Amino acid sequence: MSRKKLVRFQENEENPNVIQAGKPIFETIKGNWNEVQFQNPNPIVVELACGRGEFTVGLARNFPNQNFIGVDIKGSRIWRGSSTATKEGIHNVAFLRTQIELLEKYFAADEISELWITFPDPFPRDGDEKRRLTSPRFLDMYKPMLKKDGFLHFKTDNTDLFNYSLELFQSREDIEVIGFTHDFYQSEWKDDHFGIQTRYEKMFSDKGEKIKYLKCRFI
């Protein structure tokens, strides 16, 4: 392991906005995010596969009266968002280092107000469908965590994954699709995201890939 990674991992250990294995809070945070981590009653917004945390931190800057949590398994990626929030004095943001498959271990029923799935691995092979973050397996896990009428947002550059997800969402009786677009930056939705772009989103857009977006909720 490089010295740079070792330094970053050590900073993750020391930074209170990183929740990860080895810290006592990691085992007790479920149902206690407002009281213990943020110490306020504000709504909680979660981004899955947050990577470097650009979107999580960007939302936190724009909405100081909400709490934001980025979830990813890569400690070196989380470090960037965590350190940015620390340097800027942004206190309404935290990062949970865990596999998304284990999400229900860290969030209680009705604890999340909004959920973002941003540019996840598309897992294109049919045999990997259950690993897609928009598959039935994951949707059934998210549903109890989201408050009633809480929104689920999905953004991707991958057309096949988007079409798969849209068809699945529209087929479910417990999901209402509020709106969607195959060209986010030419849509009515673009201003809702305050120009926040992740490194990967900018890379895809610069290559001419159209960004797809969907907003829905469980009913």
Which sequence positions are flagged as catalytic? 121
* CA 209 to each of CA 120, 133, 149, 156: distance values in angstroms, whole numbers, following the listed order: 15, 21, 31, 10
Sheet holding 44-48, edge to edge: 18-19, 93-97, 67-72, 44-48, 112-118, 146-156, 212-218, 175-181
**CA quadruple 159, 156, 198, 21: dihedral sign:** negative
Q: Which distant-in-sequence residues (6+ apart) come within 8 Å of 51 by Cβ?
A: 72, 74, 77, 119, 198, 199, 200
For residue 95, give the nearest of 29, 43, 31, 7 by alpha carbon: 29
